[in-house]
A and B are shown apart, each in its own frame.
Chain A
Amino acid sequence: MNSLETEHSDAKSEVAERIRLSATSDRPYRWLLRGTALFFGAVIVVFVWSVLHTAWPAIRQFGFHLVTGRTWVPGTGPYGALPLLIDTVLTTFIALIIAVPVGLASSLALLYIVPRKIRGFGAALVELLAAVPSVVYGLWGIWYLIPWLTKTLQPFLAGITGSHWPFGGPHEGFSVLLAGLVLSIMILPTIVAISRDVISVVPSDLVEGGLSLGATRSQVFTRVVLPSARTGIFGAIALGAGRALGETIAVAMVIGSNPQIPHSLFSTGATLASTIATEFGEATGSTGSALAALALMLMIITAAVNAGARLLTRKAKAGL
Chain B
Amino acid sequence: MPADGLLYMSSKMLLKRAAVLAVTLVVAMYVTILVANGGGYIDNLILSELRQEAGYLYSRNPLFRTLPIEEQNRLIEERVQLSMKARGLDKPFIVRSFIYLVDALTLNLGRALFIRSAGGSSSVRDIIFERLPQTVLLFSTGTVLYIAIGIYLGLVMTKNIGGKFDRGMTMFAIVASVIPPWFIGIISILIFVFYLRLFPFGGMLSVPPPADPLSYALDILYHMVLPLFSWVITGFPYWAYITRNILVQISQEDFVMAARAKGLPDNNVMTDYILRPGLPPIVTNSALTLITSWMGAIITETVFEWPGVGGLMNAAISRLDAPVVIGITVIYGYLLVATVLILDAAYALLDPRIRVSKK
Q: Decide whether A and B assemble into one complex.
A: no
Q: Name B residues whose Cβ lies closer than 8 Å to a Cβ of A.
A: none
